[in-house]
Amino acid sequence: MKELYKDLAKHAVSYAKKQGAEGCVCKIAKGKSDEFIGEQNHVSSINSNEYIGFGITVHYEQKRGTASTNLVNKKSIEDAVDQAISIAKFSIADPFLTLTSLDAGKPASSLDFLYHNDWDQVSRNLYPKILEEGLKELSSHSYVAIDRMSLTVSENDEFYMNSNGVMQSEAQTHASWSVLGMAKQDDYVSGMDWNSGFSYGPKDLEKKFHSTMNGFSTKIKGLLERGKSKSYKGCLLITPRCIDDLFLEIPLGHMSGRAVMDDRSKFADDDHGQYFHPSVTLTDHPHIAELAGSTSYDSEGIPTKERTLIKDGKIQGFLYDNYSATKLKQKPSGMSGGPFGLQLHKGDQSLKALIESQPQLLVIDRFSGNSDFTTGSFSGVAKSSSYYENGKFQGIVDETMVAGNAFELAKNVVGIENKLNINDDTAMYPHVLVDGVSVTAS
Amino acid sequence: MVDKKFLKEIVDHYDDYIELRHHHRTSQSFNAKKGRVDSARHGEKGGVGVRVLKNNQWGFASTTGSSKEEIKSAIEKALENSTLVNSSQKKEIKLQEANLATTDYKSSGYDDLSSKSTEEKLSTVVDFEKKILAESSKIDFASCSYSELIEHKTIVTTDGACATMQIALPEFRVGALAKSGGEQITHGVSAGVNGGWDCLFKHPSLDGVIQKTAKMSVDLLKAKYPDGGKKQVILSPAVVGLLCHEAIGHTVEADFVKAGSVAAGKIGQRVASDLVNMSDTGMETTSGWAVGNIPFDDEGVPTEDTAIIKNGMLNSYLHNRETAYEFGVKPTGNSRAWIYDCEPLIRMRNTYLHPGNHKLAEMIASIQDGYLIEGAGSGQADANGEFMFGCSYIWEIKNGKKVNLLREATLSGIAFDVLQTVDMVSEEFQWDLGSGYCGKGQPAKVDAGGPYIRCMINVGGNA
């Protein structure tokens, strides 16, 4: 990041202190991107953007205020500081407001895989060609209806500093791509589905892009194999794509320090309680080249590290940010803004064995519905999901509802697949077979 | 702010279609829970988005700068982008003619909200949170939040648009968690308007909101789940709005139609009972504060009421100028971008079912065994019209009377199938989806609503 911007950040912090703030954080995010967009069978638009944003948080008389601006000059930065102080003045004093200390915010080791200089050697003309080939390939299949395909190449730069002297910075390059569409045949139109891909560097970009598109074509074709499910109460096989929505999101929320502090966590009584089945182990990996969430420091400037969140079904403590750590007299966990790269450890059963183990089985790929954070209950429609009877595929099903409770699913694990799959470029999950779900066919 | 004449002087030097959109946004948000202010934020973001059409190819670029040099540099970048594709796959792009806007519009709430003190907004949030908590010993947790967007936009194009708009969009949310004997439940209410502070607190959903929120969350502790199954129901305006926006509105956005949504090829066909009339409008006048009120869209096309369904027949899609030309129709003013560095997409504005002639009381009296569906939560729908909405509470109706409060129902079905079963439409009407955002790759502020309607729908209950 240019020294100009870092100097402006330093100026923001010193100006805030001059104005009477006892603490200040300044975050800068700067970047540029080229986005190539395709619709149906042609490149519809090419968009170039450059951005910069300054976010300033002040602690003033134990009150917090935040302001942001995308105007890069001393006056605008000072105006943003003044605005943050002005908001803080009307807030309520809170003795637990804390900024990351120098000790907790030691300089993070850089992650070399995040930034690739060789993007400069790739001609911009290549990207629309890659997109066009992808569109041509997918459009050649009569069963594929493309809504939108995109390829974005970006470069981002971030800088964090606070009035305790903590300074972190990180630069990143990446390409991300996606396709959104549905299956169609005669009068039938399936639900929407998508595939996406990601890479920090340009190596094998075309190959990875086309692999994503080929995967999408196969998936979409599969949606035409329609069948009917039957209503039952019993097991559900959760695909990697659905693990966050149905299996992890709510329990992980109850592990947050904020939920504990607000008496909203079901786990508050025991920070090493057995809330999951003993076969469940979950770790967070912030430094993995294959995952898009990798980062060397969290949103509060604390260096990240690999961390076990659940071991053999027992949670390994709560996840504190600075505020909840201070309030509950704990140390911050360095996971603010995270988790960054979850891995649910694989089990010992093949996918085939999991499917064949049940007389009736819905394999849920996406969940479209509502979940209640407080009670853990969920209810909604299974999308792009398939139904099996005695291990035999019966078809992709429409209008099939699922209902259950996330806390019960966490304990009622019947089996875990012996293979990991990268999910949406952000996590690595196996398929998980759980018991205790109601499936209602249309 | 950037003067529209200044932007016009810049574009007048170009032969190709050039669209300049200066967009400046000031935002504030405050959140209070557990007696503390969890967040208090102020944001400023602004710049110029440039879209060009050259040789049948769109190019887009943006700049945070407002000088002539910076804007011209963005134009050159956008023009360069439009030349990157040299391909036989290009299709001809033409823009439909329109009487483009040249007006200057300021919404009634703009000056009021801009001058309202931060102190009053923040103290209202803190005050409401305290009061909800104090309503009942069973309320264990309360939260309150306020947010606003104050926007100034200028649209100038080479083919005649030269207009400005200033609008203010405040919204308010409250929530309560009630606990008793091992049972706990959350309930929340929200409202958003296109208007000022007083206008926001005149929204029907915020009338007595402290008492209503606390009471409902406590009452829901004792409520049972509904029995699942296909039921005769009355959908409230908020739920009708969800149906209109999520389950039908997206399927008639022309870009989605071209991709093959369930509405494709159905203009002139029956998609609903003949009691159903549905529109998307940019300037509703019944209340004047619907959140999607915009005088013109981001191509400078003046907005109007677009009749999507007329007497049960699919009548129109929602268009930008490009798709309007392709389909041989007038542009409908649905081209919208979230902020200056986003390209405009086809988005809804205020989507609604027209009111009818029945009264709600008579509709309730007409049902022997069914539900009054209120407590609209979030919802999702799909390209094939399949939808799923969550409702935090509904009322059981037995022998023509509202009898029991029930909790956490889900509604599902195929939108056009449900609309075919509509057999009563109330004269009562409300806009009720102005808080939150519509997502389609980028956010958009919209509103939706309608009358009460009687229909058949799948109701999901307890596991």
Query: For A19-62, how does the pLDDT look when each residue is reduced to its tens digit (9 = 90+)?
Result: 999 999 999 999 999 999 999 888 999 999 999 999 999 999 99
Whether A257 and A405 share a structural domain:
yes
CA-based nearest distance A422→chain B, Å: 23
The residues, ordered by sequence, that sit 6+ positions from B89 with a Cβ below 8 Å of its Cβ are A41, A42, A43, A132, A135, A136
Hunting for tokens 């770790």 — which residue is that? A283
CA-closest candidate to residue A402, choices A369, A436, A375, A379 = A379
Cα B80 from Cα B299, distance rounded (Å): 21
- Alpha carbon distance A399, B379 (integer Å): 15
d(CA A223, CA B437): 30
Kindly provide the ipTM of the predicted complex, given to two decimals.
Answer: 0.92
Nearest to B337 by CA among B1, B43, B49, B28: B49
Nearest alpha-carbon partner for B227 in B74, B406, B105, B85? B406
Instruction: State the best of B21, B44, B123, B257 to mutate against chain A, taking most chain A CBs within 10 Å.
Output: B44
Asked if A101 and A211 sit in the same domain, the reply is: yes
Q: Would the pLDDT of B461 be above 90?
A: no
Enumerate the residues of chain B whose CB falls inside 8 A of the CB of residue A192: 382-383
Could you tell me if A276 and A413 are in contact, meaning their C-beta atoms sit under 8 angstroms apart? yes
| Gyration radius from chain B CA atoms | 23
pLDDT band at B88; cut points 50, 70, 90: low
Q: Are strands A377-383 and A366-371 parallel, antiparallel or unpaired?
A: antiparallel
> Which residue, chain included where needed, has tokens 């971030």?
A158
Classify residue B401 as left (phi > 0), alpha (psi -120 to 50) or beta. Answer: beta
- pLDDT digits 0-9 by tens, B354-378: 999 999 999 999 999 999 999 888 7
- Mean pLDDT, to the nearest integer, of A207-222? 96
pLDDT tens across A70-124, in order? 988 899 999 999 999 999 999 999 999 999 999 999 999 999 999 999 999 999 9
Q: How far is CA B411 from the centre of its chain?
A: 20
Average pLDDT, stretch B343-353?
97
d(C-alpha A283, C-alpha A342), whole Å = 6
Strand partners, A416: A432
What percent of chain B has pLDDT above 70?
A: 99
The answer to whether residues A203 and A319 belong to one domain is: no
- pLDDT surpassing 70 at residue B264: yes
Domain harbouring A13, CATH code = 3.30.2290.10
Residue A246 sits in the same domain as residue A212: no
Q: Domain map of chain B by residue range?
A: 4-222, 229-460
Burial pattern B233-263, b for ≥16 Cβ within 10 A else e, equals bbbbbbbbbbbbbbbbbbbbbbbbbbbbbbb
pLDDT, mean of residues A369-379:
89
pLDDT attached to residue B79: 96
Query: Is the domain of A213 the same as that of A231?
Result: no
Residue A218 shares a structural domain with residue A299: no
Q: Between chains, do A40 and B259 touch, taking CB under 8 Å as contact?
A: yes
- The verdict on a CB contact (< 8 Å) between A438 and B463 is yes
Residue B305 in this model has a pLDDT that exceeds 50:
yes
Of the options 3.30.2290.10, 3.55.40.20, 3.30.830.10, 3.10.180.10, the CATH number for the domain spanning B4-222 = 3.30.2290.10
Residue B84: list chain A partners with CB under 8 A.
46, 124-125, 128
- A135 pLDDT tier (thresholds 50, 70, 90): very high
Q: Are residues A216 and A231 in the same domain?
A: no
Residue that is last in its domain, among A199, A222, A245: A222
pLDDT digits (tens, 9 = 90+) for B148-202: 999 999 999 999 999 999 999 999 999 999 999 888 899 999 999 999 999 999 9
Provide the strand spans (E) within B34-182: 36-54, 57-63, 104-106, 139-157, 162-180
- The range of the structural domain enclosing residue A420 comes to 227-442
CA B189-B125-B139 angle, 5° bins: 55
- Supply the pLDDT for residue B463: 41
pLDDT of B1 reads 75
Domain count, chain A: 2
CB atoms within 10 A of CB B12: 10
Q: What CA–CA distance (Å, rounded) separates A255 from A373?
A: 12
d(CA B331, CA B333): 6
Q: Please name the member of B185, B258, B384 whose beta carbon is closest to the beta carbon of A191.
A: B384
pLDDT score for A140? 93
The mean pLDDT of chain B is 94
pLDDT (mean) for A425-432: 96
Whether A311 shows a pLDDT value over 80: the answer reads: yes
Phi, psi of B296 (to 5 degrees): -150, 160
Same domain, A362 and A301: yes
- How many whole angstroms from its chain centre is CA B366? 32
Place of tokens 């076990």: A308
Q: Cβ distance A287 to A294 under 8 Å?
A: yes
* Residue A218 pLDDT greater than 50, yes or no: yes
Q: Report the relative pairing of strands B57-63 and A42-60 from DSSP bridges.
A: parallel
- Per-residue pLDDT band at B29 (split at 50, 70, 90): very high
- Statement to judge: residues A161 and A262 lie in one domain: no
The pLDDT of residue B462 = 55
Q: Are A242 and A125 contained in the same domain?
A: no
Contact A372 B186 (CB under 8 A): yes
Mean pLDDT of the residues in chain A: 95
The span from the CA of B83 to the CA of B106, in Å, is 38
pLDDT band for position A164 (50/70/90)?
A: very high
Q: How far is B313 from chain A (nearest CA, A)?
A: 18
